[in-house]
Amino acid sequence: PILKILKYLEDAQEKLRETQDSDALKKDYSEKEYIIIDGASKDGTVDLIKKYSDRVTFWSSEPDKGIYDAMNKALDRVTGDWVIFMNAGDIFSDRTSLSRVFSNKNYEGVGVVYGDINQYYEGFGSFVRRYNDIEHSEVPYSICHQAAFTRANLLKKYGFDTSFRICADAESFLRMFKDGADFRYVP
């Protein structure tokens, strides 16, 4: 069992390293904040964060009550107009993803800009999960938060209900949608 735990910790650090080294975070679209909220990891994650501190706007490592508590803590630090939550190991599809979504685009009145995701499952491979236009969807809350840019002021208003262990992001999107927020699909 100890070897399995150590392997998991190594994998967690490798996943964070993948996100930190992603070309989009390093090179594309200079107008961004990079906020890391760590749940008091004891696996060397803090050392890794410090290694990349020149790219990080703010970071903290303290106990939290789960992923949605950490995401709410990050919202307290956001000063930009748009927010996307990328978990350790998540990367954009290519180095120009941010500029393709935001350069010379008019999203006036839009609350959430969302797209497709490429999911990978070890042993099964990868596939693209496409999200159809939300206006024609029966389940608009099924958007993946790693593929959704949300207006910071909107997300701060709704936040994430930490009583949900999973799906608080879906619940938040659903509340926004029911209250009339405009969602825009960008393939």
Q: Tell me the CA distances in angstroms from 53 to 58, 62, 156, one per residue in order.
A: 8, 17, 25
126 vs 7, more confident: 126
Provide the pLDDT confidence category of residue 1 given band limits of 50, 70 and 90.
very low
d(CA 124, CA 15): 19
Per-residue pLDDT tens over the stretch 114-155: 888 877 777 777 767 766 655 555 555 578 888 899 999 999
Per-residue pLDDT tens over the stretch 24-51: 555 555 677 888 888 888 877 788 888 8
Provide the pLDDT confidence category of residue 92 given band limits of 50, 70 and 90.
confident
The owner of tokens 């262990």 is 165
Cβ neighbours of residue 81 closer than 8 Å, sequence gap 6 or more: 151, 152
Mean pLDDT of 151-178: 93
d(CA 37, CA 89): 14
Above 50 in pLDDT, residue 5? no
Q: How many CB atoms lie within 10 A of CB 69?
A: 16
Mean pLDDT over the full length of the chain: 79
Phi, psi of 71 (to 5 degrees): -65, -40
